[in-house]
Amino acid sequence: DCEYVVLDRNANAGYVDVKVQLESMRSTGLVFGLLFILITAIVCSSTLTIIIDEQKKLIGTVKAFGFHKREVLSKYLLFGVSAGIVGDILAVLTGLVLSRIVLLVYSASELYQYGRPESVMRPVPTLVIALIMIAVCAVASIFACLDILRSPASLLMKGEVLRKRKKARKAVTSS
């Protein structure tokens, strides 16, 4: 007289615990990835804005010599895109090193025994995120240059920038 109870892996508490932890790690990775893209845009934009602000007179001189807007833009676009590429390379290398350290720690512990651990970094998503980061840096570079590109050389050489003015509303007075 024996009774058998057959359970699938979803009834195993250890399996369910690992599954929940993996899902939370994936969602945390997504949130941090989006946060890092936002931070990259802010840092790239503010850094290029500061660089451009410090070089207003130089840009005015260059424009006075006959350089076109696209030539000025290409210089700062090169700054932004190269910063994005260097940042991507450093991020991937740091991710690989940290991923390897985490895998070694978990494979050395006896908590999870599932064979040889695999890296969590996949080539296609990593490449897509790297390209998005480069595009974000390029767009931030363009937005940082908009006021400079609109300004005439004479105004830039004085250290000023032509800003877009909001249309003033006329006050209506009643008599």
Specify the pLDDT at position 13: 80
Q: Report the C-alpha gap between 149 and 162 in whole angstroms.
A: 9
Report d(CA 173, CA 175) in Å as an integer. 7
Q: Which pLDDT does position 175 carry in this prediction? A: 47
Q: How confident is the model at residue 117 (pLDDT cuts 50, 70, 90)?
A: low
Predicted local distance difference test score (pLDDT) of residue 31: 86
Question: How confident is the model over 159-171, as a mean pLDDT?
Answer: 65
| Residue 89 pLDDT level (bands cut at 50, 70, 90) | very high
d(CA 43, CA 61) in angstroms, rounded, equals: 27
Give the whole-number percent of the chain exceeding pLDDT 90: 13
> Which two structure tokens, joined as six digits, stand for 13?
């508490």
User: Other C-beta atoms within 10 Å of 116: how many?
Assistant: 6
Q: Model confidence at 169, in pLDDT bands (50, 70, 90)? A: low
Q: What's the residue count for the chain?
A: 175
* pTM > 0.75: yes or no: no
